[in-house]
């Protein structure tokens, strides 16, 4: 384990230092224990540690403390890991090939919804860059839907795996790509919330788009986390715990909790206008290591939460995950 250094942060969207504490270090510990209890009840005996990866989110450490920006509503860690240490956390991961194949097989069908929505909102198919392409689940779903997407990711090990599936993937970040490259769409699914500097990533994404181009972003909803976190110790505790745990929001294992308003603000500042906001649930995570009742429970609960997300008002407090589609010009 890398020794992680911390520093005090300001809001990454609006720059304000005015923030209220949302999750204290003690609350964070209690929520992480709830996450462990939730998953250990639902997994079969003898589950390999690697398979816990995307559930208990080993790759993202528990927040020391979360705050919420009083100006724009962004939820963020404060203090925060320094960027150099964060890069080391992600680059040192080396899952085995059968784990990557299993992840790809689980994620590919789940990404069909994003590929279909993208075609619908953008109005046609075209070229794209996916930031954080990981095991190629979206690249494959997009190709199936008629798009030509290439990936970029900091993890050279998973990139080698994804290239072996026939995709173009650059090692690095959106900031390190050839500045002259232009595409129709830049997609950042489940990744902007984990970056050290999301504002810089959005700026770089914009620089690869011409007028009419689109940035598509999917993030965990900080507004939903804040709303249900506040219910964890009252009469609605069991519902709040399921709402968060089934969507990997319990313990908030992300660096940033964008809200529809704070993310829109970031896109607008970079010359884009938001054409659509979608509320959604986490992709299905049940696999052969999940007990049967738990897989059924997950399907049922996500259907209920999905309905809640769909009828949620514009600021989507009921939607655990949100997607924003921003157009240039």
Q: Coil, helix or strand for 86?
A: helix
Taking the C-alpha atoms of residue 316 and residue 185, their distance in angstroms, rounded to an integer, is: 24
Nearer to Zn ion, 183 or 324 (CB): 324
Nearer to Zn ion, 72 or 118 (CB): 72
Nearer to Zn ion, 222 or 308 (CB): 222
HSE of 309, CA atoms in CB hemisphere, 13 A: 25
Stretch that binds Zn ion, among 11-19, 95-103, 215-223, 321-329 (CB under 5 A): 11-19
CB of 317 to Zn ion, least distance (A): 18
Q: Tell how many helices (H) and how many strands (E) occur in the chain.
A: 11, 13
CB of 264 to Zn ion, least distance (A): 12
What does the per-residue mask of binding to Zn ion show for 57-96, with x meaning CB under 5 A? ------------x-xx-x----------------------
Rg (CA), the chain: 19
CB of 273 to Zn ion, least distance (A): 20
Nearer to Zn ion, 241 or 255 (CB): 255
Asked if 76 and 255 touch (Cβ cutoff 8 Å), the reply is yes
- Interface with Zn ion in residues 15-34 (CB under 5 A): 16
Closest by CA to 52, choosing from 324, 307, 290, 327, is 290
CB of 14 to Zn ion, least distance (A): 3
Asked if 60 and 194 touch (Cβ cutoff 8 Å), the reply is yes
DSSP 45: T
CB of 132 to Zn ion, least distance (A): 23
* CA distances to 222, 242, 280 from 304, in Å: 20, 11, 11
Pick from 11, 75, 277, 285 the residue near Zn ion by CB under 5 A. Answer: 11
What are the residues binding Zn ion (CB under 5 A)? 11, 13-14, 16, 69, 71-72, 74
């Amino acid at each position: 384990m890398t020794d992680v250094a911390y520093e005090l942060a300001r809001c990454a969207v609006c720059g304000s230092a005015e923030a209220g504490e949302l999750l204290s270090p003690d609350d964070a510990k209690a929520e992480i224990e709830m996450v462990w209890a939730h998953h250990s009840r639902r997994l079969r005996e003898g589950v390999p540690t690697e398979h816990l990866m995307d559930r208990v989110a080993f790759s993202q450490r528990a927040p020391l403390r979360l705050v919420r920006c009083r100006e724009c509503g962004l939820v963020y860690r404060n203090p925060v890991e320094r960027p150099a240490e964060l890069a080391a956390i992600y680059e040192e991961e080396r899952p085995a090939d059968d784990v990557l194949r299993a992840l790809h097989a689980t994620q590919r069908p789940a990404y069909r919804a994003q590929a279909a929505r993208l075609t619908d909102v953008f109005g046609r198919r075209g070229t794209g860059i996916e930031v954080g392409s990981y095991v190629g689940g979206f690249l494959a779903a997009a190709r199936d839907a008629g798009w030509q997407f290439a990936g970029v990711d900091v993890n050279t090990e998973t990139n080698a795996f994804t290239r072996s599936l026939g995709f173009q993937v650059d090692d690095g970040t959106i900031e390190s790509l050839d500045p002259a490259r232009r595409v129709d769409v830049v997609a950042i699914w489940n990744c902007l919330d984990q970056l050290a500097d999301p504002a810089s990533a959005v700026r770089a994404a914009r620089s690869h788009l011409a007028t009419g181009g689109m940035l598509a972003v999917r993030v965990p909803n900080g507004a939903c986390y804040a709303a249900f976190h506040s219910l964890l110790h009252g009469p609605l505790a069991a519902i709040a715990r399921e709402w968060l745990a089934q969507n990997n929001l319990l313990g908030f294992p992300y660096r940033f909790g964008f809200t529809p308003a704070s993310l829109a603000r970031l896109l607008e500042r970079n010359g884009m206008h938001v054409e659509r906001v979608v509320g959604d649930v986490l992709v299905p995570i049940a696999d052969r290591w999940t007990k049967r009742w738990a897989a059924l429970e997950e399907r049922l609960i996500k259907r209920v939460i999905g309905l809640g997300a769909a009828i949620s008002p514009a600021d989507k407090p009921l939607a655990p995950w949100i997607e924003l589609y921003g157009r240039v010009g």
